[in-house]
Amino acid sequence: MTEASTATADGPEARAALAPEVMTWDSRARRVVTLYVPLACFVLILLFPFYWMAVTAFKPNAELYDYKTYNPFWIASPTLDHIRHLLFNTSYPRWLWTTMLVAIASTALSLFASVLAAYAIQRLRFRGSQYVGLAIYLAYLVPPSILFIPLATMVFRLGLFDTPFALILTYPTFLVPFCTWLLIGYFKSIPYELEECALIDGATRLQILRQITLPLAVPGLISAGIFSFTLSWNEFIYALAFIQSSESKTVPVAILTELVSGDVYQWGALMAGSLLGSLPVAIFYSFFVDYYVSSLTGAVKE
Amino acid sequence: MSVTASAAWKNVRQEPGWLTRFFDWKPFLVFICMLPAVGLLLVFLTYPLGLGIWLAFTDTMIGRGGEWVGLENFLYLWEDPVFWTAVFYSVFYTAVATVGKFALGLWLALLLNEHLPFKSLLRAIVLLPWITPTVLSAIAFWWIYDPQFSIVSYILVDVLHLRDTYIDFLGSTWPARWSLIAANVWRGIPFVAICLLAGLQTISPSLYEAALLDGATPWQRFTQITVPLLMPILAIVMTFSIIFTFTDFQLVYAITRGGPVNSTHLMATLAFQRGIPGGQLAEGAAIAVSMIPFLIFATLFTYFGMARRKWQQGEGND
């Protein structure tokens, strides 16, 4: 709807109304130059690193370091050597498993905490609930870079250092504020009359939450869930500071600290590792694009 | 059917058990509902924030508790040229990358707001750099910036013949700084573009039609309608962007680790280097705490500088 009308605003009719002689310059050529060419450049630049990652991951070493005889943009004889090396000579599967575990556990924990908090703030409306909401929102603005040193000392004293629990318990610090804020927005969009009906019918508050509000907020829950999963999958600084042993590292940290060794970088293996590490999120993403977009923009708009 | 219905009705009329009533008592319910979220945030966010500020005034090291030393850490940092380089580069990095991200992101959002085929596919592609783990795309950039096998150098030298020598992207100060900023802009464009696109789609098309009838040029329509109406969302996105660019860690740590000769350290990477591998927890905490005034200033500046217009338009402020 919006697109159509803005298109007409810039389209041939408008031009003709303003100045007929402009029509001599074909409006279609104009559209190609001002719209499609810049857009193609954007897409090309945004996608190039991924293409380059994929090409490098499947190239044999002989081609990788020889741009004179082989065209670097293409693979003459694709190979799975780098991926095989990654899967069988390193603990890569183990890292993937740890990352998955941490991401799922911290997402579940954050969703649980956020649903209850958002429900209390938006629906129970106790005195000062607005300020609690604001405080939770401000908590999202505290970046992990400021917190990781004191958190490292805390994690050490709690005896969680070098265990997945260190990550599962600290990731909610940035997931809970985000999820709560997103879910407050969703709960706001559910008509309050539905809950009033249930109250009159004698349902308790927790029954209302479980049987009426939550089923209606499923899209919001999915958005918050996949977003939290992505954020925990991508998290780096806590995982770098709190995990020491090679076995229990997460994928982003392990690739950077375990695969980069010595002076000669194994670029093929590094790129294969990056590609495989991005894949779960990318697959997730391809299924739920609209939820990502709505949660991204929803969180900002609220 | 009717029998079960009447039975259920009778059940409802009975007084609920004391446990059910207790869980329906509002103060208790609020307490129970807020407990997990507030508990987690107090223990793992508020307390560490305070602890971090306290640590900055002690001489704590890894494996040894610290004593109060007052401003000693900050006085030491005041004399430390590496710290000032990090402060300078953090501000420079944030300023340049934010301008780049918002200029290109706004342009991309305007392009995507046009009537296009495969629009949702395009939007999905555009968001991809933001979804993939930053470290992993940073490693791809590290490979793109390789001194010997950089594909950018290959295109400039061997394909386009614009240069004679390969560029040493990460070997010297300024090229390394600009390379990191380019990688940050690449990663930041999608977020900005998608958020601003959402803002653009909320602008009513009738405003553009009215302006068109009044004879406004495309540039006037952009500056008089699009920009003012986009301002509230722009302020919020910019606040977020500035905070997370200023405290960025992953890109720099993955690509240069602060090198060459500490010239690309951001405050976050310097805090990490001094604090965790270096063992000087107190000094790392002091560097991290020095970021807070910059963050507060940037937040207040963007928020009050730009969001003021929101109230002028008579929208409810939430």
Q: Residue A20 pLDDT > 50, yes or no?
A: no
Q: Rounded to the nearest 5°, which phi and psi values hold at B68? A: -65, 125
Q: Considering the domain boundaries, does residue A82 fall inside one?
A: no
CATH code of the domain containing A122: 1.10.3720.10
Q: Residue B119 pLDDT > 70, yes or no?
A: yes
Q: Considering the domain boundaries, does residue A166 fall inside one?
A: yes
Q: Which residue has the tokens 């004889």?
A: A77
Q: Which of residues 73-92 of A touch B (CB under 8 A)?
A: none
Q: Do A147 and B48 touch (CB under 8 A)?
A: yes
Indicate the CATH number of B80-310 among 1.10.1040.10, 2.60.120.960, 1.10.3720.10, 3.10.20.30: 1.10.3720.10
Shared-domain flag, residues A13 and A156? no
How far does the CA of residue A9 sit from the closest CA of chain B (Å)?
7
Shared-domain flag, residues A137 and A256? yes
Q: Considering the domain boundaries, does residue A252 fall inside one?
A: yes
Contact A160, A97 (CB under 8 A): no
pLDDT of residue A264: 65
Q: Considering the domain boundaries, does residue A60 fall inside one?
A: no
Q: Considering the domain boundaries, does residue A80 fall inside one?
A: no
pTM, two decimals, is 0.85
**Bond before A49 cis per omega within 30 degrees:** no
Q: Considering the domain boundaries, does residue A232 fall inside one?
A: yes
The segment(s) of chain B belonging to CATH 1.10.3720.10 are 80-310
Cα separation of B28 and A40, whole Å? 57
What is the tens place of the pLDDT at every residue in A234-250? Answer: 899 999 999 988 888 99
Structural domain tally of chain A?
2
**With bands split at pLDDT 50, 70 and 90, how would you rate the model's confidence at B141?**
very high
- B310 Cβ contact partners less than 8 Å away, ≥ 6 residues apart: B231, B232, B235, B317
Widest CA span of chain A, in angstroms? 79
Distances (CA, A) of A152 to A2, A110, B53, B63: 50, 20, 14, 12
pLDDT above 70 covers a percentage of chain A that reads: 88
Q: Considering the domain boundaries, does residue A71 fall inside one?
A: no
What's the complex ipTM?
A: 0.83
pLDDT of residue A134: 84
- B151 Cβ contact partners less than 8 Å away, ≥ 6 residues apart: A52, A72, B144
Closest among B71, B136, B317 to A56, alpha carbons compared: B136
What is the tens place of the pLDDT at every residue in B226-265? Answer: 888 888 888 888 888 999 999 999 999 999 888 788 899 9
What is the tens place of the pLDDT at every residue in A255-299? Answer: 888 887 666 678 888 889 899 888 888 888 888 877 777 777 665
Query: Phi-psi region for residue A262, left (φ > 0), alpha (ψ -120 to 50) or beta?
Result: left
pLDDT above 70 covers a percentage of chain B that reads: 91
Per the document, the length of chain A is 302
pLDDT of residue B312: 44
Structure tokens at A176: 């809970």
Q: Which of residues 227-266 of A touch B (CB under 8 A)?
A: 230, 233-234, 236-237, 240-241, 251-253, 255-256
Helix and strand numbers (H, E) in chain B are 17, 0
Shared-domain flag, residues A16 and A131? no
Task: Name the β-bridge partners of B68.
Answer: B58
Q: In the predicted model, what is the mean pLDDT of chain B?
A: 85
Q: Rounded to the nearest 5°, which phi and psi values hold at A73? A: -80, -10
pLDDT of residue B90: 94
CA dihedral angle for residue A71, residue A72, residue A78, residue A80, rounded to 10 degrees: 160
Shared-domain flag, residues A130 and A269? yes
What is the tens place of the pLDDT at every residue in A204-229? Answer: 888 888 888 888 888 889 889 988 99
| Count of pairs with CB atoms under 8 A, one residue in A, one in B | 306
Shared-domain flag, residues A141 and A228? yes
3-state secondary structure of B47: helix
Cβ neighbour number for residue A89 with a 10 Å cutoff: 9
Contacts of A150 in chain B (CB under 8 A): 48-49, 51-52, 55, 285
Q: Which of residues 88-117 of A touch B (CB under 8 A)?
A: 109, 112-114, 116-117
Contact A53, A274 (CB under 8 A): yes
pLDDT of residue A17: 47
Pairwise pLDDT comparison (B61 vs B185), residue with the higher score: B185
Amino acid at B227: V
Shared-domain flag, residues A34 and A169? no
What is the tens place of the pLDDT at every residue in B20-50? Answer: 777 777 888 888 888 999 999 999 999 999 9
What is the tens place of the pLDDT at every residue in A25-45? Answer: 567 788 888 888 999 999 999
Q: What is the CA radius of gyration of chain B?
A: 27
Q: Residue B82 pLDDT > 60, yes or no?
A: yes
Shared-domain flag, residues A162 and A284? yes
How far does the CA of residue B280 sit from the closest CA of chain A (Å)?
10
Q: Do B41 and A2 touch (CB under 8 A)?
A: no
Q: Which residue has the tokens 């002690």?
A: B58
Per-residue pLDDT, averaged over B105-113, amounts to 92
How far does the CA of residue B140 sit from the closest CA of chain A (Å)?
6
DSSP assignment of A49-68, as one string?
HHHHHHHHHTS-HHHHT-TT
Q: Residue B73 pLDDT > 80, yes or no?
A: yes
Q: Do B133 and A234 touch (CB under 8 A)?
A: yes
Cα separation of B205 and B8, whole Å? 53
pLDDT of residue B21: 74
Q: Which of B44, B51, B114 sits opposite A6 (nearest CB)?
A: B114
Shared-domain flag, residues A117 and A27? no
**Exposed/middle/buried for residue A168 (C-beta within 10 Å: 0-12, 13-18, 19+):** buried
Q: Do B26 and A286 touch (CB under 8 A)?
A: no
Shared-domain flag, residues A94 and A223? yes
Q: Considering the domain boundaries, does residue A44 fall inside one?
A: yes
What is the tens place of the pLDDT at every residue in A72-92? Answer: 888 888 888 888 888 888 888
Shared-domain flag, residues A202 and A119? yes
Shared-domain flag, residues A41 and A108? no
3-state secondary structure of B68: strand
The three-state DSSP-derived secondary structure of A238-256 is HHHHHCCCHHHCCHHHHHH
Shared-domain flag, residues A4 and A121? no
Contact A160, A166 (CB under 8 A): yes
Structural domain span for residue A236: 90-301
Q: What is the CA radius of gyration of chain A?
A: 25
